[in-house]
Amino acid sequence: MPVTKIADPPWMARVEEMTRRADELAAEMNKPEVASNGAMMVRLAREHGELEKIARLYRDYRGLMRDIEESQQIIDEPGSDDDLRQLAEEQMPGLLARRERLLTQLQERLVTGNEASIRSIILEVRAGTGGEEAALFARELLDMYLAYAARKGFKTEVMSLSESDLGGVKEAIVNITGEEVYMHYRFEAGGHRVQRVPKTEAQGRIHTSAATVAVLPEPEEVEVDIDWEKDVIEYVSRAGGPGGQNVNKVSSAIRLEHKPTGITVSMRDEKSQHKNRAKARRVLMSRVYEYYASQQRAQIVQDRRSMVGSGDRSDRIRTYNFPQDRCTDHRINKDLFGLQKILVNGEFDEFRAELHDRDLKLRLEQL
């Protein structure tokens, strides 16, 4: 009788590729010429560290699948010992349940791997429409995020704080660091709206005010790794102008062109071709660094604009309704009651969990 075979999901092929890459990187880092290159080791170690997280899960999964197949073989084999078959049948539900848990972990790591590796974010809270009441609401949001960070063991640093006359917040910029910190805050970006009677309202009327939140991964220092053989075209010529007999007769002037960016650098000050090349490379390295750094800064500005919206009352991801003591997340149409525990204690975990599950489902559909 053939053994019942449990097939892997189609996306497992991508996990296998990532595991192979992790093994290749580990072998590469063991080479003496790589180990002696500090910059290369840092880059390879970083890539390996992220891939190894999913590779470990994959290896556990493969070991578990061997156990499942062995147990299934005992169950399917007509001549198996009765006691062994009974033991295998008793173990099988636990093995299959563990397989499902591992598959869920692998799926999650596969679709959120890059974001899960982010350990430092810049969180920005700004008062929107609503004057002083909006600033007071922005203060409560800031306190909520700091309280959440304290509960999760994240480190916080208030980098910039602009306060209003009544102690509200016009603008606050906070650095929050910790393991997978971006995964905890990523769904907070957007417009937040509050409905309540402001302290400044004499007639007891309910007002609606707004604040915006941006959640940005803190960029790591830009790494510039130029392959001088493959990435750069070098032109050598005779230096013109004053400089004596040597300058005119020897090809000492250097012009470098960085193919990925199109940046060029010319150097002809020195009589030595070697010195001109060394100077040109230093200048080219600096210009390429600034090129990628400016791109990174522009991307951050674009991300900030796209996530915070207009800051008016109609632009919102969540509404905090004080008369009804209710908080509504409009993306998942979910209500939580008890604004005190949400805003003061930072207990918005239920929102985060459902938003995460929804996001994971959408991403898996695209695999």
pLDDT tens digits for range 277-319: 888 888 888 788 778 877 877 777 777 676 666 556 566 899 9
Report d(CA 297, CA 219) in Å as an integer.
Answer: 9
Is residue 165 classed as helix, strand or coil in its secondary structure? coil
Token pair 């960029």 in the structure block, residue: 219
Sequence-ordered list of residues with C-beta below 8 angstroms from that of 54, at least 6 positions apart, any chain: 15, 18, 19, 22, 106, 109, 110, 113
Report d(CA 366, CA 364) in Å as an integer.
Answer: 5
Q: In this structure, which amino acid lies at residue 155? A: K
Nearest in space to 154 (alpha carbons), one of 109, 215, 196, 203: 215
Contact (CB, 8 A) for 190 and 316: yes
Sequence-ordered list of residues with C-beta below 8 angstroms from that of 324, at least 6 positions apart, any chain: none
Dihedral of the CA atoms 22, 27, 28, 30 (nearest 10)?
130
Q: How far is CA 106 from the centre of its chain?
A: 17
Tokens of 193: 């709206």
What strands, in cross-sheet order, belong to the sheet with 120-127?
155-163, 169-177, 120-127, 207-217, 190-196, 318-321, 326-329, 334-337
pLDDT at 223: 67
Q: Kind of pairing, strands 190-196 and 169-177?
A: unpaired
Report d(CA 189, CA 352) in Å as an integer.
Answer: 12
Report d(CA 242, CA 343) in Å as an integer.
Answer: 72
Sequence-ordered list of residues with C-beta below 8 angstroms from that of 307, at least 6 positions apart, any chain: 189, 190, 214, 215
Is residue 226 classed as helix, strand or coil in its secondary structure? coil
pLDDT at 247: 43
Report d(CA 282, CA 279) in Å as an integer.
Answer: 5
Tokens of 70: 């062995």
Stretches where the chain sits below pLDDT 50 are 1-3, 241-248
pLDDT at 246: 44
231 burial (CB, 10 Å; 0-12 / 13-18 / 19+) is middle
Contact (CB, 8 A) for 215 and 121: yes
Tokens of 201: 């309202």
pLDDT at 367: 62
pLDDT tens digits for range 17-61: 989 999 999 888 888 887 787 778 877 888 888 888 889 999 999
Contact (CB, 8 A) for 80 and 132: no
Phi, psi of 44 (to 5 degrees): -65, -40
pLDDT at 222: 65
pLDDT at 168: 92
What strands, in cross-sheet order, belong to the sheet with 232-237?
232-237, 253-258, 263-267
4 burial (CB, 10 Å; 0-12 / 13-18 / 19+) is exposed
Sequence-ordered list of residues with C-beta below 8 angstroms from that of 351, at least 6 positions apart, any chain: 187, 318, 327, 329, 332, 334, 336
Q: How far is CA 277 from the centre of its chain?
A: 38
In DSSP terms, which residues pair with 216 in a beta bridge? Answer: 122
